[in-house]
Amino acid sequence: MTEQTVEPDTSAHGYTPEKEAYLKRLRRVEGQVRGIARMVENDTYCIDVLTQISAVTKALQAVGLGLLEDHLGHCVVDAARRSPEEGAAKVEEASAAIARLVRS
Amino acid sequence: MTEQTVEPDTSAHGYTPEKEAYLKRLRRVEGQVRGIARMVENDTYCIDVLTQISAVTKALQAVGLGLLEDHLGHCVVDAARRSPEEGAAKVEEASAAIARLVRS
Amino acid sequence: MTEQTVEPDTSAHGYTPEKEAYLKRLRRVEGQVRGIARMVENDTYCIDVLTQISAVTKALQAVGLGLLEDHLGHCVVDAARRSPEEGAAKVEEASAAIARLVRS
Amino acid sequence: MTEQTVEPDTSAHGYTPEKEAYLKRLRRVEGQVRGIARMVENDTYCIDVLTQISAVTKALQAVGLGLLEDHLGHCVVDAARRSPEEGAAKVEEASAAIARLVRS
In this structure, which topology does domain C16-103 adopt according to CATH? Methane Monooxygenase Hydroxylase; Chain G, domain 1 (1.20.58)
Q: How confident is the model at residue C103 (pLDDT cuts 50, 70, 90)?
A: confident
Going by C-alpha positions, the residue among C103, C50, B58, B53 that lies closest to residue A67 is: B53
For C45-97, what is each residue's pLDDT tens digit?
999 999 999 999 999 999 999 999 999 999 999 999 999 999 999 999 999 99
Average pLDDT over residues B67-81: 96
User: CA-CA distance, A94 to B47, in Å (whole number)?
Assistant: 7
What's the topology of domain A17-102?
A: Methane Monooxygenase Hydroxylase; Chain G, domain 1 (1.20.58)
Cα nearest neighbour of B62 on chain C? C99
Among the partner residues A36, A70, A104, nearest to B57 by beta-carbon distance: A104
Mutation pick from A36, A68, A72 vs chain B, by most beta carbons of B within 10 Å, is: A36
Whether the pLDDT of residue B2 is over 80: the answer is: no
What is the predicted ipTM?
A: 0.89
If one counts every other C-beta atom within 10 angstroms of the C-beta of residue D81, the result is 25
- Which B positions 47-66 lie with beta carbon below 8 A of chain A? 47, 49-51, 53-58, 60-61, 63-64
Total residue length of chain A: 104
Query: Chain B residues with CB inside 8 Å of C73's CB?
Result: 87-88, 91-92, 95
* The pLDDT of residue D4: 43
Residue B4 predicted with pLDDT over 60: no
Interface membership of D78 toward C (CB under 8 Å): no
Tell me what pLDDT residue A11 has: 60
Could you tell me which chains touch chain B, where touching means 3 or more CB pairs under 8 A? A, C
Q: How many CB atoms lie within 10 A of CB D26?
A: 24
The distance of B66 to chain C (nearest Cα, Å) reads 9
Mean pLDDT (chain B) is 91
Segment A13-71, tens digit of pLDDT: 999 999 999 999 999 999 999 999 999 999 999 999 999 999 999 999 999 999 999 99
Checking if the pLDDT of A6 tops 80, the result is no
pLDDT in tens, B18-45: 999 999 999 999 999 999 999 999 999 9
In the three-class reduction of DSSP (H, G, I as helix; E, B as strand; rest coil), residue A94 is classed as helix
Q: Give pLDDT, residue C2.
A: 45
pLDDT band at A12 (very low <50, low <70, confident <90, very high): confident
* pLDDT, mean of each 10-residue run, chain D (104 residues): 46 90 98 98 96 97 97 96 96 97 89
Superfamily name and number for B17-103: Metal-sensitive repressor, helix protomer (1.20.58.1000)
Which amino acid makes up residue B36? I
Write down the domain spans for chain B. 17-103
3-state secondary structure chain B: CCCCCCCCCCCCCCCHHHHHHHHHHHHHHHHHHHHHHHHHHCCCCHHHHHHHHHHHHHHHHHHHHHHHHHHHHHHHHHHHHHCHHHHHHHHHHHHHHHHHHHHC
Report the pLDDT value the prediction gives residue C70, as an integer from 0 to 100: 97
